[in-house]
A and B are shown apart, each in its own frame.
Chain A
Amino acid sequence: MNIEQLPIINLLLFLLMALVIPLLKRKPFKITLILGFIVLGLVLISSSYLLWHVNNKGVIHYTFGGHEARFGIEFIVDPFSALFTTIIAGLAAIIYIYSSGDATEGIEKTEYGRYYVLLFILLMSMFGILYTNDLFNTYVFIEILSITTCAIISIKRKKDTYTSAFRYVMMNELGSLSYLFGVALIYMATGFTNITLISESIQNAFVSYPVNIVVALGFMIIGLGIKAAIFPFHIWLPDAHSAAPSTSSAILSAIVIKVYILVLVKVLFRVFKLDILNEMNISTILLVLAGVAMIMGSVFAIAQKDVKRMLGYSSVAQMGYILLGIGLLSFEGLRAAFFHILSHGLMKTALFLSVGEIIFYKKTRKVNDFDGMGFIMPVAMGVFSIAALGMIGIPLTSGFISKLNLGVAVLDQNQIIFLVILILSSLLNVIYYLPIIILAFLKNEKYRYRLKSIEPTPRTMIAPLVLLGVLIVVVGLFPNQIMVFIEAAVNSLLS
């Protein structure tokens, strides 16, 4: 087995697992769970190995069927894709362990197997998006990702899931078609769909057919922006969160929308290189969108009464931070954005998983009902508090480091107004996260009769939460190890 075949083996493992699950329908469900965990573990090990390999030895190219890059599909494993596939595999493993507890609430028993089928296909498509070096292949994987995410969100048989899922499908289709139109325009101008070949000929194409490239750029930014929940196009996100089970919310908010931002980064920096972007003033557009997202996301979040919708709007604001880092179009900015992708993934997963546990046991979703929750479910609320403090930006958490890096990156490009917006949005974050923590740990007079004992939760649900809490603090204290990988990824994008 060649090292070059590892990426495709990852994808195949996921696909095979997804195929095998319906076959195991008669067996007890535990076997499926254990098998899935083994597969995830194998993929995580192989991704980490790939990460080490590409950072020390060199980039891996794999072409399907041996056809050369011009006609076939090429997979590239470089520091950028290796880093993010490892992060995704890690987060997915944690969420998977969590979901194997009783937290798939609201889903009927017969649907459990289908849920996991969808989950594995979703993971396969995410890996595919990150590895592939071909624009149209990206489109195919994006579509697979869209459908499986829609399905994973609307898996509950409740009334409000259907309208939210419909809106989600509608917006996602608009986004995908815009993206495809952009690919078509680029293909028209350059004649290739392979990213490396396009990047070599984009300058000539820009000189000869400027309208094509410009319109393609516009369509792609908006199309991917819809899917990544950037401010005016974030419409589907809060509804989707309020309707979905908690594990799906965690996957959606922490992993899926990040993958779309990563596609945007890949397209911007590898297809249209920095010269075109600077000429077209894309930086201003992205920065304005990011600034608006940071403020408006938090303003809407303050007004929400359902805790999951609030977390959804909080995700919109955080995607604004990431877009701010990307929109600076510099080394520092990308580095801060990538670090924030990691840290926000950890924090949002922790938030959604702990909220899921609370909703499962207490059957309540309103923010006002969190009174005294800290005494009934201390681990869940403790991890929620650590993650919420991280979102606010208290030191000792990873959120603080990402704010520090973003601040320095913003100053590097002389955009001081965005430093002010950054601090302002941190203040807005305080307004809606702090009351929950205070309510949970201090005000327990209303529900004194409920304070019988600490709710027993299965170990499979507590262990991932504790692991996430520890990771948030560790990454907050010693970020340098991860920064090495992130800087290698940024260098591979910018060179």
Chain B
Amino acid sequence: MLKFPKMKIFDSMVKSNSYLVGLSMFLLLYFIAFVGNWFGINQAIVESSGFLNLLASSWVDYLIVIIILIPIVGAIIELKYGEKSVKHRDKSVIYMGFLTLVIIVLMYPIILNKTLSIEIPQVFSIGLTLRIDMLGYSVLLLSAFIWFFVMIYAHEYMTHEKKTTRFLFFLGLTYSSVIGAICSGDLLMMFIFFEIMTITSYMLVIHGQNEQSYKAGYNYIIMGLIGGFLILTAIILLYFNIGDLRFASAIAKLNTLGNLKYWIMGLLVFGFGIKAGMAPVHVWLPRAHPVAPTPASALLSGVMIKIGAFGIIRVATSYYFPSQDSVAGINDPLWQAATNIGAIIIWAGIITMALGVFLALQQANIKKMLAYHSISQMGYIITGVGVALYLGYEGAMGFTGAMYHIINHALFKSLLFMIAGVIYYHTKELDMYKLGGLWKKLPFTTITFLIAALGISGIPLLNGYISKTILHHGIVEATELEHPIFFYAEIIFIVVSAGTVCSFIKMFYYVFLRKTDNEYKTMVFDYSSLDIAMWSMAIIIVLIGLSPNFILKSLILPILNTTTYDPYFVEHHIAHMNVFAGKDLLMTLGIVGLGFVIFILGKKFNLFHLHLPKWLSIEYLFFLPAYIIMRNICRLMYGDRCPMDKDDFSKLTEKDVEKIGFIDRFIVTTNVFNRRYEQSIIRSDAIIYTSFLTFLIILMLITKL
């Protein structure tokens, strides 16, 4: 029998935080009650005159602006309190999160009945739109809950870090830009908030301010800006060809563009995909997560990469889907573009999944492993989006799977990162092979870890099982309805799920179960804000797992009603879906068994320490021609009189890609180029003039005559 030593309460705000979390649980209860129409609450509210007046009034649209502004105001208030009074500072941040959560939960009945939208015509010479519909609302609700819990967690966690004021300030700004990105009604507004989100979250990643943080941060922001520029190119192309950037069906006009529509979609998928951690542009994720403080990692992996996937869903279902009244059935040729794009996205998702889980198994650092798992799970979501597009009219299953998995993954991934943070907080160690036996010292954490790990592995009665089953059904449908090649996709799906199970068995064994010599005497068994936040998320995970149809009924079905999916299909296959069918349960059992087998084999044959040779990394292969040119650049420019002994030119010949990245080599190359040519260009000023003059005049005379 475990003996519970006396609990110490370290944290002075535990009481108030507990109250707030209790209130948030009450809100959750209200939400459940509203959807389930317990005690007739639903009818009472919806039919009340106050509510109907609210719906009809014009100022209800300004709620969007209010929820975007509250985090900014909270951030400014927090800045003013600064380091002077830590309690007030953290309180302001937590209350800000709570207030936003309250407003968002209470907005549910409004959004069910009416899409809020605001138009601002004159800004940016094109005009902007803000809009919340059911799709945005689901992600918004999710982000609000998670952000609130992470704020409570951050309050306690950041007592071990410096410069918390700056961290919380940028956290608030990032929250505001995330809400703005979800609430945008046209592509330009989403792009603007995306850029702001990249810049403010850069400050979060770089918080540690050591050499590694700077490198990871630089990589992160450059890739974020490249993604931004890809989206900008797509915006310019869309604006020029279609004229209206709002999220409405544009497939009729897009079809007249021929192949250009595939280019636009490719640009958008890559642009948003960089943010979503899609392979091959996922490389910033495993670098940014270990160096960022845990609350930032939890939010980065939990919410921000979902915004990338949300962007892809929004763009694909708005521009490339026909509108509801113009489509006839599954064989309508209007679906052709979506089908082609969907196939490619499915394969991209499958590759991402496999890559993520394979690399995750090789990691020793807990946070890096979780980062690779994020990539792998985003692969699931992207596959779901691909199926949603590929099957066209019948694609509701994939869409449901993707949305459900967004919600689930946000929950359990944030929880997992929080657990990793707790481990770090107590033991200052993140290497899985050096830890062990933590179940004795941190029993509550162990239980929450079990819940989260079972969730991500897809065990029944927890939430991961539901979304993975739906996604599996989606892939099976793709195989049956369209093309048998997706059978291989299904096989990879099953193997990847087994790999996920294996990886978490591995982590549980090494971190919690294994007996080691470390005593961790200094760990005290305490009850702090960290635990409150983690427990609430664990409770939500279990609740969703126990009643899978709740999320379907409350959030996903209303979304599906506004899209152009086949209503008959939605009614028959999704609305009353039974996820606990015998076939799926057996499949899960098989996956778990396979996972155990892989784990045992891996431990025996030491398969968990494989390192791919350095030249096989995606970055190196992608840039290989450029690297070859850059290595020989000195010889190319100077001939034989190459001044190679300067130490910064030797950077170019460095074979190891990890030490000097692509951009640094590019800068050194421009240095060589500059050194060689700048002075000679300057010296030959008159020669350039004469030669260009003669050349131009001869050219023009030839054109004329």
The answer to whether A401 and B692 touch (CB under 8 A), given A170-B685, A394-B195, A419-B233, is no
Proximity string of chain A (373-416) to chain B, C-beta cutoff 8 Å, 1 when within and 0 when not: 00000000000000000001111100011011101100110000
Query: Which of A42-50, A57-65, A300-308, A318-326 forms contacts with chain B?
Result: A300-308
Which single member of A285, A405, A423, A434 contacts B221 (CB below 8 Å)? A434
Asked if B689 is at the interface of the complex by the 8 Å CB criterion, the answer is yes
Closest Cβ–Cβ distance, residue B248 to chain A (whole Å): 20
Residues of A within 8 A of B123 (CB): 477-478
Asked if A215 is at the interface of the complex by the 8 Å CB criterion, the answer is yes
Residues of B within 8 A of A217 (CB): 700
Give Cα A394 to B226, complex, Å.
12
Number of A-B contacts (CB under 8 A): 142
Asked if B68 is at the interface of the complex by the 8 Å CB criterion, the answer is no
Nearest CB to that of B700 among chain A residues? A214
Asked if B686 is at the interface of the complex by the 8 Å CB criterion, the answer is yes
Proximity string of chain A (410-451) to chain B, C-beta cutoff 8 Å, 1 when within and 0 when not: 011000000110010011001100100010001100000000
Which single member of B126, B225, B240, B704 contacts A412 (CB below 8 Å)? B240
Residues of B within 8 A of A218 (CB): 693, 696-697, 700
Query: Which of A12-20, A25-33, A219-227 forms contacts with chain B?
Result: A219-227
Asked if A299 is at the interface of the complex by the 8 Å CB criterion, the answer is yes
The answer to whether A235 and B682 touch (CB under 8 A), given A178-B693, A408-B240, is yes
Give Cα A126 to B701, complex, Å.
33
Asked if B628 is at the interface of the complex by the 8 Å CB criterion, the answer is no
Give Cα A210 to B704, complex, Å.
8
Asked if A74 is at the interface of the complex by the 8 Å CB criterion, the answer is no
* Contact of B222 with A430 in the complex, beta carbons under 8 Å: yes
Residues of A within 8 A of B696 (CB): 218, 221-222, 285
* Contact of B124 with A236 in the complex, beta carbons under 8 Å: no
Which single member of B191, B214, B675, B704 contacts A280 (CB below 8 Å)? B704
* Contact of B701 with A214 in the complex, beta carbons under 8 Å: yes
Proximity string of chain B (542-582) to chain A, C-beta cutoff 8 Å, 1 when within and 0 when not: 00000000000000000000000000000000000000000
Nearest CB to that of B677 among chain A residues? A300
Asked if B56 is at the interface of the complex by the 8 Å CB criterion, the answer is no
* Contact of A431 with B232 in the complex, beta carbons under 8 Å: no
Closest Cβ–Cβ distance, residue B238 to chain A (whole Å): 10
* Contact of B673 with A303 in the complex, beta carbons under 8 Å: yes
Give Cα A235 to B225, complex, Å.
31
Closest Cβ–Cβ distance, residue A293 to chain B (whole Å): 13
Asked if B650 is at the interface of the complex by the 8 Å CB criterion, the answer is no
Asked if B229 is at the interface of the complex by the 8 Å CB criterion, the answer is yes
Residues of A within 8 A of B221 (CB): 434
Residues of A within 8 A of B222 (CB): 430, 434
* Contact of B686 with A300 in the complex, beta carbons under 8 Å: no
Q: Which B659-674 residues have a C-beta within 8 angstroms of A?
A: 663, 666-667, 670-671, 673-674
Secondary structure at the B interface, as helix, strand, loop or mixed, is helix
Give Cα A400 to B240, complex, Å.
16
Asked if B703 is at the interface of the complex by the 8 Å CB criterion, the answer is yes
Identify which of A221, A235, A443, A476 gathers the most chain B CB atoms within 10 Å of its CB. A235
* Contact of B674 with A303 in the complex, beta carbons under 8 Å: yes
Which single member of B125, B240, B667 contacts A480 (CB below 8 Å)? B125
* Contact of A411 with B689 in the complex, beta carbons under 8 Å: no
Nearest CB to that of B121 among chain A residues? A480
Proximity string of chain B (173-196) to chain A, C-beta cutoff 8 Å, 1 when within and 0 when not: 000000000000000000110011
Asked if A232 is at the interface of the complex by the 8 Å CB criterion, the answer is yes
Residues of B within 8 A of A405 (CB): 125
Nearest CB to that of B705 among chain A residues? A210
Q: Which A468-495 residues have a C-beta within 8 angstroms of B?
A: 476-480, 483
Which single member of A174, A393, A396 contacts B686 (CB below 8 Å)? A174
Give Cα A283 to B124, complex, Å.
29
Q: Which A300-359 residues have a C-beta within 8 angstroms of B?
A: 300, 302-304
Asked if B236 is at the interface of the complex by the 8 Å CB criterion, the answer is yes
* Contact of A407 with B236 in the complex, beta carbons under 8 Å: yes
Asked if A365 is at the interface of the complex by the 8 Å CB criterion, the answer is no
Closest Cβ–Cβ distance, residue A238 to chain B (whole Å): 8
* Contact of B229 with A426 in the complex, beta carbons under 8 Å: yes
Asked if B122 is at the interface of the complex by the 8 Å CB criterion, the answer is yes
The answer to whether A233 and B688 touch (CB under 8 A), given A218-B697, A218-B700, A408-B239, is yes
Which single member of B217, B225, B701 contacts A392 (CB below 8 Å)? B225
Q: Which B187-218 residues have a C-beta within 8 angstroms of A?
A: 191-192, 195-196, 199, 206, 209, 214, 217-218
* Contact of A222 with B674 in the complex, beta carbons under 8 Å: no
Nearest CB to that of B675 among chain A residues? A303
Secondary structure at the A interface, as helix, strand, loop or mixed, is helix
Asked if B699 is at the interface of the complex by the 8 Å CB criterion, the answer is yes
The answer to whether A300 and B192 touch (CB under 8 A), given A408-B240, A419-B236, A427-B229, is no
Asked if A239 is at the interface of the complex by the 8 Å CB criterion, the answer is yes
The answer to whether A280 and B124 touch (CB under 8 A), given A235-B681, A408-B239, is no
Asked if B327 is at the interface of the complex by the 8 Å CB criterion, the answer is no
Identify which of A218, A285, A394, A419 gathers the most chain B CB atoms within 10 Å of its CB. A218
Residues of A within 8 A of B196 (CB): 395-396
Give Cα A221 to B695, complex, Å.
13
Identify which of B195, B218, B222 gathers the most chain A CB atoms within 10 Å of its CB. B195
Asked if B517 is at the interface of the complex by the 8 Å CB criterion, the answer is no
Proximity string of chain B (642-669) to chain A, C-beta cutoff 8 Å, 1 when within and 0 when not: 0000000000000000000001001100
Which single member of A174, A395, A427 contacts B124 (CB below 8 Å)? A395
Closest Cβ–Cβ distance, residue B48 to chain A (whole Å): 40
* Contact of B674 with A280 in the complex, beta carbons under 8 Å: no
Which single member of A400, A411, A479 contacts B237 (CB below 8 Å)? A411
Residues of B within 8 A of A114 (CB): none
Nearest CB to that of A281 among chain B residues? B703
Give Cα A217 to B699, complex, Å.
12
Residues of B within 8 A of A483 (CB): 125
Closest Cβ–Cβ distance, residue B678 to chain A (whole Å): 7
Nearest CB to that of A305 among chain B residues? B671
Closest Cβ–Cβ distance, residue A148 to chain B (whole Å): 21
* Contact of B693 with A304 in the complex, beta carbons under 8 Å: no
Q: Which B573-614 residues have a C-beta within 8 angstroms of A?
A: none
Q: Which B362-394 residues have a C-beta within 8 angstroms of A?
A: none
Give Cα A396 to B663, complex, Å.
27
Closest Cβ–Cβ distance, residue A241 to chain B (whole Å): 13
Residues of A within 8 A of B686 (CB): 170, 174
Residues of A within 8 A of B235 (CB): 404
Nearest CB to that of A476 among chain B residues? B124
Asked if A454 is at the interface of the complex by the 8 Å CB criterion, the answer is no
Asked if A53 is at the interface of the complex by the 8 Å CB criterion, the answer is no
The answer to whether A395 and B689 touch (CB under 8 A), given A214-B704, A218-B697, A403-B232, is no
Residues of B within 8 A of A214 (CB): 697, 700-701, 704
Asked if A205 is at the interface of the complex by the 8 Å CB criterion, the answer is no
Closest Cβ–Cβ distance, residue A472 to chain B (whole Å): 14
* Contact of A411 with B125 in the complex, beta carbons under 8 Å: no
Residues of B within 8 A of A419 (CB): 233, 236-237
Give Cα A239 to B217, complex, Å.
34
Give Cα A32 to B232, complex, Å.
49
Please, could you name 30 A-B residue pairs with CB atoms under 8 Å apart, sorted by A? A170-B686, A211-B701, A211-B704, A214-B701, A214-B704, A218-B696, A218-B697, A233-B688, A233-B689, A235-B685, A239-B682, A300-B674, A302-B667, A303-B673, A303-B674, A303-B678, A404-B124, A407-B240, A411-B241, A419-B237, A426-B229, A427-B229, A431-B667, A438-B214, A438-B218, A443-B214, A476-B124, A477-B124, A478-B122, A479-B125
The 9 closest A-B pairs by CB, nearest first: A303-B674, A407-B236, A411-B240, A395-B192, A303-B670, A218-B697, A302-B670, A303-B671, A218-B696
A-side interface residues toward B, CB under 8 Å?
Answer: 167, 170-171, 174, 178, 210-211, 214-215, 217-219, 221-222, 226, 232-233, 235-236, 239, 279-281, 285, 299-300, 302-304, 392-396, 400-401, 403-405, 407-408, 411-412, 419-420, 423, 426-427, 430-431, 434, 438, 442-443, 476-480, 483
Other than A235-B685, A407-B233, give 6 A-B pairs with Cβ distance below 8 A. Answer: A210-B704, A222-B693, A285-B699, A304-B674, A394-B195, A431-B667
